[in-house]
Every structure is written in C-alpha cells, then in structure tokens.
Structure 1
Amino acid sequence: MRVGERRDTDVTHEDQRPPAAVLFDALGPDYEKAFAHAPAHLSALEWLIERLPSAARTLDVGSGTGRPTAAALVGAGHSVLGVDISPVMVELAVRQVPEAEFHCVDIRELPLEADSFDGVCVFFSLLQMARAEQSALMRRLTLALRPGGHLVLATVPVDAEDVEFVFMGQPVRATSFAEEDFVGMVEAAGLTVLDRNSSLFTPDHPTAEPEPHLFLHCRRDETGS
C-alpha cells in the first residue's frame, strides 16, 4: 500500500494530526488578535530583551504567528528560531517575520544542543502536554540555555489534568499545574525563578472570559544544572 493511500479502516488525516496542530490551524490569525496585546506578555518580552547579550540566539517555543514574540526579538537585533506544531501558524510567521527562522515541528521531537541559546520563550506552549512531558521538556530547555541565560514562560495556573473545554470556539483538552506546583516544576528543571507575574486577562474574542495567567522570569545559573 502506497503512502497516502487510505483504507476504509484507516483513521482520517485529521484524526492523525496532533490536537495542538488541529486547534491552532483552526485559530490562525484570530489567536494573534486575541492575545498579542496582553500586557504581561509584552512585559515579559521586555524583561528578557533587557537581559540578552548583543545579537543573542533565542528560541521561541510555540512561536504562533511570530507576533509579538519573534517580531520583538528580531526588532531588538537578535536571531530567532521559532518552533510550532501548526503549519498554518508557521506559514503566517514566515510571512510576518521573515528575518526569523521557523520550523513546523513538535518541540518534544526537536534535537536541542546543550548551552546553545541565550534566551528561550515558552508562552502557553505546554498546556496540551501531559505533566510528565511538560517536566521533561523544561529540563531539556534548561540544558539548551547557556549558563546565565534567561527563560520566560507562561501558563494558565490551574490544577487540571486532561480537562476538556471550549477555547475560542474550538474544543480542546488541556493539562496544567496549580501555581506553586508549576513553579516547583520549573525549579526542579534547574531554573531559578527571579520574578513572577499573576494576572487575569480577557482575550479579544467574542466568547472570551477572564482567564488566569502566570508569567515566570527565570535564569539558568552560571554553575549550570
């Protein structure tokens, strides 16, 4: 049987795609419109940019449409590797931030060299991973940071495991940690949490309600981990 041929007993291509890809392909530019102006997100970017060396190498995990994260980093003179599982998002990012490099790949499957990035951004990119996967990825991202490098990340801090709900009109399943447990997971990965920002944010979308956001500003210590 040739690749791409389908039998009646096969699942559909849509069923085979990762849930995060299905979700964000459907959302496309609506996600940027809903979230790109979030004050805590912009503040975290400013915090990171202030601490990056000149012409830093940065990684944007779950890079979406490229805005605001990759665009802000490029605008500050840094190189950006953006990674997203959604082909639609990657296509938008390539068009909107051509100075950055974007790859359509699952970050869990992307090889990461040790000590290779000065800064890492992980904005709401963990929520469709199991808790063990989130912990494992944070350890890998910490090791990918150069000692002394900085990482900013955000999540929805709720004690929820594989919970189904509707997000911007799309069905989704998500997993997260309560705030202190999330901080503990990040610290166990080898990062020092220098600051945290907890807030309520209402996305710019007709169905949106206020949702809790937690932003962590972190550093990999000079001694490594």
Structure 2
Amino acid sequence: MVKAGYDKLGSRYRTYYEQAVPQRYTNWLTAFAQLLSPGTRVLELGCADGIPTARYLSQHVNYLGVDISPVQIEHARVNVPMANFAVADMATLRFPDHSFGGVIALYSIIHLPVAEQPALVNAIYQWLKPEGYFLCILGADKWTGTEADWIEPGTLMYWSHTDAATYTYWFKEAGFTVIDSHFVDEGNGGHTFFLLKK
C-alpha cells in the first residue's frame, strides 16, 4: 500500500510538502549535519524524492537513501545526482554492524506496522558506529489506520505508530541515549522528534 501510494503520487508528493511543511526541516537537517564529521556515512530510511534531506546532507556527508518506491527513487536520482540511492524495504534491510555514523528517518518508520518497528530500532542501533546519531520523527500517540484520499483523490496510504513514551522505552532498551525528544505540533495533531546517540 505504501509503495503503491508513493509510486502513484510521484512528484506531486513533493509539490504538496513544499506548500505544507514549514522551516523545521531546514532546522533539523542543519543541526543533524553539525553533529557529523565531513564524509561520515549516513543512511536515510524513506528518502522519497531526495528533497530536502538528501539534497542538503549529501553536501556534507557520504549519503545513502533508501525508499520502497521505485518512482520516488527515480526522482531522487534526478534531483540529487551526487547522492546514492537504492530501492529497498527498510523492514528487510541488512547492513554490517557499525556501517554508519548517522541514520535519519523523517516520518518514514511509521509506515511500518508498529509490531515490526522494535526490530528495526534494534537493527539501526547495530548499524550505527559507537557515538553515532539517529534522528527520527515518529508518532506521538497510538494509532494505526489508512487514509483513502491522501494528498490527492484515489491515493491510499497506511500509517502505524505507538506513543512517545513507548518509543522512548524501545530506544533505551536498544541502548540509545535520548539527546532530545519533543512534540512537533502540526495543526490538529503532531508527531514526536527524537535525537538519539549510540
């Protein structure tokens, strides 16, 4: 469902978010990049079309973006030709331990069924080098469901997330230190920002 939805939207996904998302992306990415040494290997889970995250981070680090949507990856390779991209399902990714100095996942992990998310959190911890950083935007409250006309009529999309306290527990159980955690207000609802360190 997630793959089909992003494939269907294509570049219209980015057009929508350029109108809807405020300056916070720039603030998040700037702060994240400042934590990393130039050339650090960084993985983005759910990179979509590469804007803004890949475009910004690839100027500072050795960037790899993965996304389940071949259409979004095709756009990303055009939008950010200096970065590396791959079509992949984050739930089945495999990397050697200590492969990355940083991992970033903005609103992407919550496309996985919540039951699969703790295993991914543990995998991310293993992929990170000691002292590596993980920045993610996750749910604030428990909810799993779909939207039938997401962004445009006929686009079906799925989300699944637990509450911020449960995510915090999972992170600490995996071994992460929580550097920052706060609610991201988004009109009638919101999500949770996490910055974590291995």
Normalising by structure 2, what TM-score?
0.90
1:35 equivalent in structure 2: 17
Give 1:180's match in structure 2, choosing from 150, 160, 165.
165
2:78 equivalent in structure 1: 95
Q: Distance in 2 between matches of 1:139 and 1:213?
A: 21
Give 1:201's match in structure 2, choosing from 172, 182, 186.
186
Q: Aligned ranges for residues 1-225 of structure 1 at < 5 Å?
A: 19-35=1-17, 37-76=21-60, 78-161=61-144, 163-166=145-148, 167-169=150-152, 170-201=155-186, 210-220=188-198
SS at match of 1:127: helix
Bigger Rg over Cα: 1
Task: Please report how far the alpha carbon of residue 215 of structure 1 lies from its aligned counterpart in structure 2 after TM superposition.
Answer: 1.3
- The one-character-per-residue Cα deviations of 1:121-149 (angstroms, maximum 9, x if unpaired) are 01111122122211101110111010101
C-alpha RMSD of matched pairs (Å): 1.7
Q: Distance in 2 between matches of 1:70 and 1:187?
A: 28
SS at match of 1:44: helix
1:207 equivalent in structure 2: none
Matched-pair contact (CA < 8 Å) for 2:100–2:127: yes
Which 5+ residue runs of structure 1 have no aligned equivalent? 1-18, 203-209, 221-225
Task: Please report how far the alpha carbon of residue 113 of structure 1 lies from its aligned counterpart in structure 2 after TM superposition.
Answer: 1.1
Normalising by structure 1, what TM-score?
0.80
Letter in 2 for 1:192: T
Task: Please report how far the alpha carbon of residue 41 of structure 1 lies from its aligned counterpart in structure 2 after TM superposition.
Answer: 2.7
Q: Distance in 1 between matches of 2:178 and 2:16?
A: 27
- What percentage of residue pairs aligned between the two structures are identical? 26
Letter in 2 for 1:195: D
Residue-pair matches, total: 193
Pair 1:192–1:34, CA change in 2 (3 A): farther
Q: Distance in 2 between matches of 1:186 and 1:42?
A: 25
Matched-pair contact (CA < 8 Å) for 1:32–1:67: yes
